[in-house]
A = this chain, B = another copy of it.
């Protein structure tokens, strides 16, 4: 069998059909793929079809790919049948290292040679998961965000024994399949976005544990505050705009000392010249020629669009 290019893929296998695996199924169906799925739970098929049915109106509204249909989903009685003719495999099993290891080895044994197998793991490095597979070279992490049928981001990274070609094939495939891809050149536990949201989540848990804020306060503080900006502009450029016309350099001069303040339980790194320069020049790269005034205008337009789209215009925010 000739291996397909990312553009030629027509048949995708999803192994594990819980919230994440089922979300992947919905995404791939909406993008017009044939999808085979397998999950060991006895009621897995009914649950999966419920999830896809629940997502379908939204996906229809978003615009289905030509030929996309829920009829193109086949739930198979065995893992081997699910992957036998797959041109790409997405594994979304529970987050247990031993389970992932065994499952990836089984998938590797049952999947046509050379076909890329991606794991949805939230944070295990592939190096730790690919230890027992006969051919670890085609195993990559393809980490999505819930729900995979709506949130564009996928973080792609290989392990020590992954071939570079498998990583770039997977990155390209996800792009073709409508995702927004960050390809990492090294393994970091939790990848990028999960490290960031895990820091926030842990600080939130500390606050709940200490009675400093309620769950509701925490959620409102994000949806009515920084969350509105983060849908539009990331935390780095957003902070650069707090520096006014001086941008990130002025922001670091002004707020750098607050890195020493006990504003979170997380210790900050030393803001030495090297880090200062890396952040400032990194912001220049991210700004990509846009001036501070242009970035402010872009952020403002985006936030207004988000406020309007989520029904929060006209002054007072509606309680959500």
Chain A residues within 8 Å of B, Cβ to Cβ: 18-19, 31, 54-55, 58, 61-63, 65, 94-95, 122-123, 145-147, 150-153, 155, 175, 178-180, 182, 184, 186, 188-209, 212-239, 241-244, 254-255, 257-259, 261-269, 271, 274-275, 278-279, 282-283, 285-286, 293, 296-310, 312-317, 320
Contact = CB atoms under 8 A, between A and B. Distances in A.
Nearest to A246: B19
Contacts of A302: 310
A285 B317 contact: no
Contacts of A18: 244
A34 to B, nearest CB: 18
A182 B217 contact: yes
Nearest to A298: B320
A204 B236 contact: yes
B223 A232 contact: yes
B282 A214 contact: yes
A229 B151 contact: yes
A273 to B, nearest CB: 12
A244 B20 CA distance: 9
A283 B213 contact: no
Q: How many copies does the complex hold?
A: 2
Contact of A308 (B19, B219, B309, B315): B309
A151 B224 contact: yes
A216 B285 contact: yes
Given A261-B189, A275-B205, A180 B222 contact: no
B304 A150 contact: yes
A264 B309 contact: no
B306 A189 contact: no
A175 B317 CA distance: 9
A230 B231 contact: yes
Contact of A231 (B216, B231, B254): B231
Contact of A151 (B228, B262, B268): B228
A175 to B, nearest CB: 7
A226 B194 CA distance: 9
Contact of A309 (B266, B282, B306): B306
A199 B242 contact: no
A150 B307 contact: yes
A4 to B, nearest CB: 19
Closest 5 pairs between A and B when the two form their complex, measured CB to CB: A219-B234, A215-B282, A190-B263, A227-B230, A309-B309
A73 to B, nearest CB: 19
18 contacts: A31-B315, A65-B315, A95-B255, A122-B255, A151-B229, A178-B315, A182-B217, A182-B221, A184-B213, A189-B262, A190-B264, A193-B226, A195-B263, A198-B264, A198-B266, A219-B236, A222-B235, A266-B266
A205 to B, nearest CB: 5
A190 B230 CA distance: 19
Contacts of A244: 18-19
A310 B178 CA distance: 16
A263 to B, nearest CB: 3
Nearest to A266: B266
